[in-house]
Amino acid sequence: MISRTYDNVFVLPAIHTRRHPIQPAAHAGSLPVDPLPQYALSMLNISALCIDRHLGDHADGAAIIWPGSGAQPEERVSYQALHEHVCRLANALLDQGVQRGDRVAIHMPLMMESIVAVLACIRIGAVHVVLAGVSDVPFLAEWLVQCGAVVVLTDHGTGSGEVPVALKSRLDRALAIAGSRCRVQMVLVVAPAGAAVPMKSGRDHLYDAVVDWYEPDFPPAVMFADDPLFLLYPSHQQGRTRGMTYTVGQYSRLTSYAMDMLAPQGNEEIPYSLLNMAWNAGQTALVVSVLAKGSTIAASGDGLSPHNI
């Protein structure tokens, strides 16, 4: 099982003495997290499986490759660079008050920053929930209230074809509908320099302007099998549907199953259509399994297709 495969990866306990500066809204339910159990068996932090264990022989190997567009050259993100991106965001989230067990919503398509967000949440023990495929604004508002997210990461606007999808504007409308029932205190927006993005003072911040200030190193938190790690909302049942919480143990088994089912010989490629379909349905285990195998997620004109290093 994944949790016992790489026990030599160095991990440190999560810090539990910080006071939580983010206060819940009046109508939001509290999300208490039990302290670290004294005698429970610790499990490997999955972000260490995806990144840290590749920093020896494959530190310079490609983790993510994005094609060039126009005057921009192709972007190649090594495992070392991915580690730094993840650690910077982990430090930023922790410094902004996100603690073990807190919910972080990812309202972005499958892209480098969304992959970094998943791994950063796992690294600090926060619970990630992907709301990329939610097209109805009232449904998005309801799920933001239900999941109790304290931070949302979103893109300034994306889409395909002739009609782009303004994700940030959609999120703004959802947060306005949610009002005081919502716990969201910070929105990090991925946007190119100079882009015209609607921003709410005190709540919205540009991703690079915040995250780039933090140190590129963060020891992964020790996790236990019963710790909550991932929240999934069924994409075919939008609205007042309760999400399903996966613990560390359950998510580890889900990732192992994805690795064994999709690439039992260790060299099969996972088609982009499957990765993208899973991501838009709120699933992250497929993307995590690609990196856990030490493969490369390579974007083409049609999307992502992983290739082994």
Q: What pLDDT score was predicted for residue 82?
A: 97
pLDDT of residue 237: 60
> Is residue 199 situated within a structural domain?
yes
How many folded domains does the chain comprise? 1
Classify residue 13: in a domain, yes or no: no
Rg (CA), the chain: 18
Asked whether residue 20 is domain-assigned, the answer is no
Measured over the CA atoms of residue 255, residue 225, residue 294 and residue 109, the dihedral's sign is positive
Is residue 8 in a domain?
Answer: no
How many whole angstroms from its chain centre is CA 269? 22
pLDDT in tens, 253-292: 998 887 777 665 555 567 667 777 888 889 999 999 989 9
Residue 39 domain-assigned (yes or no): no
Whole-model pTM: value is 0.84
Q: What is the pLDDT of residues 217-238, one digit of tens each?
A: 999 999 999 999 999 987 656 5
**153: nearest Cα among 119, 102, 200, 204:** 204
Per the CB < 8 A criterion, the answer to whether 167 and 108 are in contact is: yes
pLDDT single digits (tens) 137-188: 999 999 999 999 999 999 988 654 445 678 999 999 999 999 999 999 999 9
Domain that holds residue 232: 49-308
Between residues 259 and 249, the one the model is more confident about = 249
Asked if residue 40 belongs to a domain, the reply is: no
